[in-house]
C-alpha cells in the first residue's frame, strides 16, 4: 500500500471554520479525501492520520495515527473548497526529518532550494502533497505542522466572501495558479492559505 493522508487534527473550534464558509458536521470538515477534525486538545494543527504505513506514534515529533482508509462523503462548501493541495511541515533539521519520513515509507520524491535559499522537500500522500520546509534555527527540536493550503473553485469569489480576512491574491509558485493567505484576524491556530485549481 502507498502512504496516504486521510485526516488532520486541529485544535480550532468548529465555528471559526463555519464562519469561513466551510460545511462542518460533527466537528469535522470533508475536503476531498481528507477529514479535517476540529476541536482537538492543544493548539494549531496537532496531528495527522495516515494509511499505508506501519503503526507509529510519531514521525520526528509529528503526532501520527495509522488507520485503514475511511474516506468522507462528498460535501459542498459555500466557499468553493474542493480539497487540500498541500500540508506544510517545518523542521530545523531537514536531513533528520527527511530520514524519519523515509524510515516510515514516505521518502521525499523531490527536493529543491526555495526562494529564500532554504531547502524544500515534497512527496504525494494520496490526494494531498506533503511539503517539508527547512527553517533557520538550532539543530534541535521536533518537526512541526505549520499549515495547510485549501483548493477552491474560484479564488476571486472567495476573496469577495471573506473580505479583509483574506490577504491579497498573488501568483503561486505553481505556474498559472493563484494563492492568498488567511490573515491572523480569522483566529485560526495554524497558517491557512487558499489556492486556485490546477488546470494542468
Q: Which domain holds residue 78?
A: 4-195
pLDDT at position 200: 62
Q: Is residue 155 part of a domain?
A: yes
pLDDT at position 11: 98
Indicate if the alpha-carbon torsion angle 141, 86, 36, 154 is positive or negative.
Answer: positive
Q: What is the CATH number for 164?
A: 3.10.180.10
pLDDT at position 138: 64
Domain count, the chain: 1
Q: What residues contact 103, with CB distance under 8 A and at least 6 apart? A: none
Cα–Cα distance measured from residue 192 to residue 187, given in angstroms and rounded to the nearest whole number: 11
Indicate if the alpha-carbon torsion angle 123, 119, 64, 53 is positive or negative.
Answer: positive
Q: Is residue 165 part of a domain?
A: yes
Q: Is residue 140 part of a domain?
A: yes
Q: Is residue 142 part of a domain?
A: yes
Q: Is residue 100 part of a domain?
A: yes
Q: What is the pLDDT along the chain (200 residues), one digit of tens a residue?
A: 689 999 999 999 999 999 999 999 999 999 999 999 999 999 999 999 999 999 999 999 999 999 999 889 999 999 999 999 999 999 999 999 999 999 999 999 999 998 888 999 999 999 999 999 999 876 678 999 999 999 999 999 999 999 999 999 999 988 899 999 999 999 999 999 999 998 76
Q: Is residue 200 part of a domain?
A: no
Q: What is the DSSP-derived secondary structure letter of residue 163? A: G
Q: Which residue is associated with the grid cell 470533508?
A: 30
Q: Is residue 133 part of a domain?
A: yes
pLDDT at position 139: 66
Say if pTM beats, i.e. exceeds, 0.85.
Answer: yes
User: Any alpha helices (H) in 8-85, and if so which ranges?
Assistant: 14-18
Q: Is residue 52 part of a domain?
A: yes
pLDDT at position 149: 98
Amino acid at each position: 500500500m502507498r502512504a496516504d493522508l486521510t485526516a488532520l487534527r486541529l485544535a480550532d473550534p468548529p465555528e471559526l471554520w463555519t464562519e469561513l464558509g466551510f460545511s462542518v458536521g460533527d466537528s469535522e470538515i470533508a475536503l476531498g479525501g481528507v477529514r479535517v477534525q476540529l476541536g482537538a486538545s492543544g493548539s494549531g494543527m496537532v496531528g495527522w492520520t495516515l494509511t499505508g504505513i506501519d503503526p507509529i506514534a510519531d514521525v520526528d515529533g509529528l503526532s501520527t495515527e495509522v488507520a485503514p482508509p475511511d474516506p468522507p462523503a462528498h460535501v459542498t462548501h459555500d466557499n468553493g473548497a474542493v480539497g487540500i493541495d498541500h500540508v506544510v511541515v517545518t523542521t530545523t533539521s531537514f536531513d533528520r526529518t527527511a530520514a524519519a519520513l523515509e524510515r516510515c515509507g514516505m521518502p521525499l520524491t523531490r527536493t529543491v532550494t526555495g526562494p529564500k535559499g532554504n531547502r524544500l522537500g515534497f512527496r504525494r500522500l494520496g490526494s494531498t502533497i506533503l511539503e517539508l520546509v527547512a527553517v533557520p534555527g538550532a539543530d534541535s527540536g521536533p518537526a512541526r505542522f505549520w499549515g495547510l493550503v485549501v483548493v477552491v473553485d474560484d479564488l476571486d469569489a472567495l476573496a469577495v466572501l471573506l473580505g479583509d480576512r483574506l490577504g491579497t491574491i498573488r501568483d503561486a509558485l505553481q505556474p498559472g495558479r493563484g494563492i492568498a493567505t488567511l490573515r491572523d484576524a480569522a483566529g485560526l491556530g495554524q497558517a491557512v492559505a487558499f489556492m486556485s485549481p490546477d488546470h494542468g
